[in-house]
Structures are given as C-alpha cells and as structure tokens.
Structure 1
C-alpha cells in the first residue's frame, strides 16, 4: 500500500470506558477521531466491574481523599446524565465486632457523606438489624449496622452509549479491528489495521493507548509500569427479598459486596489478586469462587456454596504499579503517561482509573494532548452537562418514562417496558416505533428479546454475535436457554451475511 488513505486528528486504541470516553469528548470538541477495538466494545475490564458509581469508601483508609472526592462529584454528574443506566442504591454495612470499630465506621461514613459536597442522595443512618428488614437474611450476631448511599451502573451499556454518542458526533468507531502496526513518520502516526473488511492504513496526529491490560505492550515496547489485578464476581439466585445492597468486611481487611442483580439474582464480589497469566484467558478460579462464598456465608444465615453460583465473570484492572506490596493496596487512581518527542506525534498511555471517573479521565487526557493537537478546542469541556443517548429525562423520572412508553400501547407488557427503559432510556421509542401490537416487534428469542430490539442493537450499537447481545448490551444470557441462543446465533449470522451482500451490491 502506498501510504495512509485517511488522516485523523486522534486515533484511540481500546473500546473500553476510557477509550470510548476519550473518543466521545474529542469528537464533541470538533476533532476527527477514529477508535479501534479488537473485539467487542466493553468486552474486557469495563464489563467486569462491580457495577458501582461510587467514591470508594475503603479508599479513605488509604488517604486517597482526592480520588474519593472526585468520584463522589462524578457520581452526581453521571446520575444526572444517564438516569436510565445509573440509579441510586442504598448499602447496609453490618457492624462486625472483630473488624473495624463502630466509631471508625461512623466517622468514615460521615466523611464520605460530606466529601463530595451536597448530595441529593440520603445520608448515613444507624440501623437496628434486629428490627430492620435488612437484618432478616443475616446471622443473629449482627444486631447493628449502618446504611449509606451510592449509585449503580450498567457498566457495559455506559461504554456502548459513549461510543454511540461519539459516532453521532462524527467519530469513526471500528469494532473487531486490530491495530497491527504503529510507527511515527514525520509528524504523523501511521497505523496498519486489520478488520472485517481486510487491511488498511490510516494516519493520525496523535495516538491514545487505552487498551487496558495491554497498555504499553501493543508494539513491542519496554515493559510498562502496569500491575494487572484480577477481580472476579459470582452471581447466585436471589439471596434476599429487599432492594438494598450489603457491604461486608472480611478478616483480610478487604470488603465484599452483595447486590440485588437483574431482579432474580444476587451479585457478589470482588476479589483482588495479582495476575500473570494469558490475557485472553481471564476466568474466576475455584479458589476465588470459594473465597466469595465464604465471605458471604460469614454474614448470611443461609450458607452460600459454589453449587449456588449460576454465573461468574472476571476482569483485569490495569493499575499503575506504585510498588504496593498487596494487590488490594495498589492505587486505583489513573495515570496518563505522555510521550511527545519534539520531532514526532504524541502518544498518550492510559493506566488505571475507575469506571466512576472515566469522564474526568477523558478531560485530563485531552488537556495533556491539547498543546500537541490544535484540533481539540481547549477549555471547551462539555460532557459534564451533556446527557448520554437516551438519558434526556430527569434523574428520578424512570417510572414516568416507563408509563410514557406504555401510554397508547396497552399491548406492551410492563416488564418489557421497564427493561427497555432501563437499557435505552428515551431511545426505547426507536425500538417500539411503528409497532401497534406485540407481534409487530417480530419474533422473540427467549425471555423478552424481540427482533426489533435485536435489529436496533446490530444497526446502532455494533452487536455482531450473541454474546454481544446477551452479556454486554443486556444480561439476558442469565435467562435464555441453549435452543433460543442457537436461534439467535443463526438469525444474527443471516443478517450479517445479508448486510455484506447489500454492501457488495451497492453502487460504488
């Protein structure tokens, strides 16, 4: 090939929350952006979180006050801008006499309540677990507890919605496309990429490596200052009837959450252990499953065993290696490393970060790149007040949105309307448009996944395979059986083939 065919202002490698957040912010500032993801959006770390938008109560013990303050401020921003996928969650912290003293817990919660400024969420309260419904599932020894507020997020949807918004602002989002080569040539990065349509070359004035666990390793460079920490979660059948979550202290000074999940399940996590294996094979080990079961069983009246686990997932946190002796003590703050030689284009490498602070990370990334990239209008930060796609309704307006979706549609089941509102917000109207009956939404692939929703996911949200739909755009994989999964796979394969035929037949 003679040379790059297309020149962008910014190329981003990595379709996780940091990469998509940077792409969205840059595109909204007028830059010409391309993003490459070798698999599916949010296929790695960004879909393997505990799914909390929070300050990180335990980070107070590490004196990470700036990180907690920034995260708590972002909690309010994200709830306001994405109320369909972010919503408040109340946490119960049982007091354990053998762990941290009650006065320390109360002090930490008081600081937590006030560190992020005024909040619309309810503050901390003390609970009598002998009387409060939250005490019913717990062992009788736990008679006192504390309740505080944070938020929950559909993490993989947060990633996809950032990508959708970036694309609608002009970004070129290329999934299942691998960057095989990158070299500085004059004032540009020349990238060789391979995707579904074959190989191509592009040029960019700046490059961001937001490849998560692969940061710094893409092009045979020196060993990066990254510490890979594995976090695993288990999902069980629902362990308690109320809608609050638990935060449990363990003898190793770690904490484990038990969270209501997808109406009929409970999510328990996470672990923290150093990882040195194959990046393509990250799975919850039997040891991790046993650890999480034991942690939950220490608090719940009914023991939780590996036989109760219906699903596990695991991800790697690419933390900046600050020399901490234990994985749980390594910094969760983000580090942005800029390599900007005087005679060549800049490279920005992204280490660490929390899903809660991805938007601030993106702003910081563009601030670092700004002096080298005139296309990014500095001082033009905009994402703090811009709703994500579908998030243009009030933070406490979810029930009203569900009612609005059902207004004039008596045939639409309330459970389906509620799920569509949670996943797509106001854009659920696009899925339902033109339908005057349930059959108008097309065939159903198990649970309540309709052909209309599936087409939307394929056409708008880059879904290519069943796992993209069942485990990232939705969590319907918990409910759909093997036969329906096979039918879904056949349908998606047929649609992808039809699209390819249409592209070949289109006039050039």
Structure 2
C-alpha cells in the first residue's frame, strides 16, 4: 500500500495524526462509507503509539483514582480486541507480589475482585492467590517468599496495531499519507481548506468537510495552525520511559511491582530473550520528538529491579530504552501519575462553523471505542455516514477460525514444512493470515530472497514497502517489527541501502 498523492477533491474527513487514535478513526470512518484522508508528519506509530508498555488492559491502578467508567470500558474492549487481532494480541498472566507493597492485601484483593467482574470477563482466567515460595510464579524474585495475587490482562504489539488499522482503513477506501505534515487549515463556508507538505514534494491543498485533530502530543500545535480554532482545553504532556534488559526470570508471566511511592512498574517477557521494564511518569515540557529516558528514570527502574529480583542489573546491561510522551487531558491533578488516562473529545462546531474534533488523552485499549464515539459526534454533520460497525470485526490478518492462533500456526507449519519453525512463528505473530501474501509462491527459505540478517528476508521487506508504508530501516526494524534487537551488525546499513 504505497503512499498516495493527496487528491484535490473534497474529502469528508481530514485526520491529522497517524497514531492509534488517528488510524482507528480513519478505519471506522472509511467503513461507514466516508471519504477519508489521514496525514502523518512522520511514520505511522512513530511516537507515542509505539512507546507504550504494550498492554491491552483495564488499568488496575486506575481504580485507585476512581476511574471506574474508563476501567469498565477498557475491560470490555480487552477481550474484544483479542478476538479481533489474535496474532498481535494474546493473554498474559500478571503476578502482583505483596512484598514491599504499600497497599494492604485486602485492598489489592478488593481491587482485583472488581477487576474480574467489572467488564464482563469471559475467556480470560480470573484472579488467584499463590505462595511465591511454592509456585513457579516466584521464579527470580528476591526474596522468594510471601503471598502474591495472579490476574489476567493482554499483550499487544502496539505499533503493528496502528499499522493494521491504517491498512484496514486503506482497504476500505481511505488515503493514508505518511511523512506529510499539516502546514495550515482554515474554515470556509463549505468546510476546511488545508495546506499539506509532503516530505518529498511540493505542498498541496485539500478541502474537507470535517477536520479531526488526533495529533497526540502535537494536538496543541495543530490547533495553533488552524485559523479560528477553539482552544479552551489544555493537554498535559507526561513522559513514560522503559528499559529492555536481559531476561530476569523464567516463565511467560509478567510482574506488576509496587513501589513505596505507590507507583507501579511492570516487568514483562519481551522478544524471547529480554524483559521489558516500565513505565515512569515524568512531566514533559520540551518538544515531544526529543523524548529520551533520563538518568533519574533509569535509576528508578533499576532500583525497582534490585528491590524485587535476584539478578543484579546495571546500566551497562540495558540493551535498549525508549520514551514516549502521553498527551493527557489536563485535569489539574498535582501528581503526573494521577492525571486521568480517560479521553476527551472536544467538538468545535456550530451552524456556521465547519466541524473540528480534537482528541485529548486516551489509551491503546480504548482506541476502538474512542473512534466510535468520535464518529458518533461527527456523523450528524456528515450525511451518508453509516452506523457503527467495528466491534468484533477482525483486523487484517486476524481472520483466523475461532481466533485460535495456535491452530492457525499448526496449519501454517503443515502448509510450509520446509520453512524454519521460528520464522513461521514470528511471521504468523506479525501478519496472521496475511503471511501468505509475503510467501507468495515461496516454499523454501531460499525462495524468500536476500537475507538481511536476523531472519529478515527480501520478501518481507518488499511486502512492508508495498503494503505497510515502510520507507526506512528504522520503520522495518523498530516499528513493523522489533528485529532491531536481534539482527547482526551491518543489517541496518544493508537494509537502508536496499530501501534507498
């Protein structure tokens, strides 16, 4: 799916921002029969939406702040999204040790009872209590003693979720223009006139009946480029950082670790060989694109590891780190950790004003519902918009029988007996049923073309360029995949030369 030139014709919806909210709205709108143009100044999911903790979860800790509506909505969406994309979303058990807990056990258990029952859980197992000394769930902990609660949530390949929403939107008629920024927008009697600047060409103008500002950390920047935009909401930027370290413990479960300051840190199995540790909550005032982990954040995460795990980890052991800026709606909370993660949709429209919808806040788990609410608000001003439709409709690659990934992988293995099992599993996880579009007529690994290293072959790269808007080595190695952690020296340079 190559980048398409911006058409001069009027579109129903111009969406600014290629993160999870923008692509989710594009998918929903295109499926309702609306004409859609989405522009993203960089690559899809190049900022906040690829810098998450990669969880589809209700947000257990949000119960502590009374966010019951948000938690209930997220819990309902959790199993729904799992069914829509079982290749990139799967269940994960979380161990919540009471060691070092600032909260009494009865309070944690009450929260988990609500968590189990608030959102209509059907397929995920419920909470259990375990003795860490007698359970495999205590593996790697120090001391391996005391009680823990074990509950369920889901994992998601976050940047792939964004790309799959964009892909579905494009296949339903939307135009996705990456590396294209909004220069300015102004209202007219009929709608909006926007000037767009592609990175590799002359600026273009496009007209739209409605404008959606889903620019995430740049939401205020977009408002500043929009003549006459209402600007009475404020966004609060909070940085969340993560580190990747060599595997800290055995097992496929994750840990939710409580610190004395009442903040929590996750430790999650990552890419087979590693553990993902995060996140932090730090106010941010610099440009969002400059976000990197600070020494204080690194020290905080390393101290958490030292408090809970047997294995010592030092700064030199960190194999990768990343930081993202969460564009939260400013509810004036004094503590960055307490700022609401709920979303706010600000519709600026009147009888004589073309509609503009600005998106504040939100989390990956509730992106589909956010998009549905956005179209509910905009539909009255967009004649011809169809009804809501996305609930339960599979994302590209997720249309496997009974949403059963293991059965799908077994069938794929039988279909391609000469392909390495590790390669088949990785591709099945990334592309689901679309993996056959990568293989084409290939039956052996030699048929996949040039080996760039780390099981990345020409056939996959060509697919990512043709269908998923990949343009650079970074797009391929760090957003369409996390192969950047696995490839040998020289792969980035070879891949960059090929893409150039």
Shorter-chain TM-score: what band?
A: over 0.9
SS at match of 1:256: strand
**Alpha-carbon distance in 2 for matches of 1:122, 1:395:** 18
Q: Counterparts of 1:14-413 in structure 2 under 5 Å? A: 14-96=17-99, 99-140=102-143, 142-195=145-198, 196-220=200-224, 222=231, 224-377=233-386, 380-394=387-401, 397-413=404-420
SS at match of 2:347: strand
RMSD of equivalent CA atoms? 1.4
Instruction: State the match for 1:503 in structure 2.
Output: none
Whether 1:435 and 2:442 are equivalent positions in the alignment is: yes
Instruction: State the match for 1:468 in structure 2.
Output: 475
**Alpha-carbon distance in 2 for matches of 1:10, 1:386:** 22
**Alpha-carbon distance in 1 for matches of 2:403, 2:253:** 17
Contact 1:244 1:259 in 2 (8 A): yes
CA-to-aligned-CA distance 1:102-145 (integer Å, 9 cap, x gap): 11111111111001113211110011100111213111263211
Contact 1:216 1:224 in 2 (8 A): no
Change (3 A) 1:298 1:266: same
CA-to-aligned-CA distance 1:442-482 (integer Å, 9 cap, x gap): 01111001100000000000000001000000000001233
When normalised by structure 2's length, the TM-score is 0.96
Which stretch has the larger CA shift, 387-396 or 127-136?
Answer: 387-396
**Alpha-carbon distance in 2 for matches of 1:321, 1:335:** 10
Contact 2:73 2:119 in 1 (8 A): yes
SS at match of 1:384: coil
Instruction: State the match for 2:487 in structure 1.
Output: 480
SS at match of 2:152: strand
Contact 2:131 2:145 in 1 (8 A): no
**Alpha-carbon distance in 1 for matches of 2:329, 2:402:** 34
Contact 2:138 2:144 in 1 (8 A): no
**Alpha-carbon distance in 2 for matches of 1:269, 1:178:** 31
Change (3 A) 1:147 1:383: same
CA-to-aligned-CA distance 1:281-326 (integer Å, 9 cap, x gap): 1101111111111112111012222121100000011000001001
Q: Which runs of 5+ in 1 are unaligned?
A: 494-508
**Alpha-carbon distance in 2 for matches of 1:88, 1:357:** 17
1:402 Cα offset (Å):
1.6
Contact 2:419 2:443 in 1 (8 A): no
Change (3 A) 1:395 1:74: farther
SS at match of 2:391: helix
SS at match of 1:319: strand
SS at match of 1:111: helix
Contact 1:290 1:305 in 2 (8 A): no
Change (3 A) 1:141 1:89: closer
Change (3 A) 1:298 1:287: same
Aligned residue pairs, count: 489
Instruction: State the match for 1:498 in structure 2.
Output: none
Change (3 A) 1:427 1:11: same
**Alpha-carbon distance in 2 for matches of 1:489, 1:198:** 25
Q: Which runs of 5+ in 2 are unaligned?
A: 1-6
When normalised by structure 1's length, the TM-score is 0.94
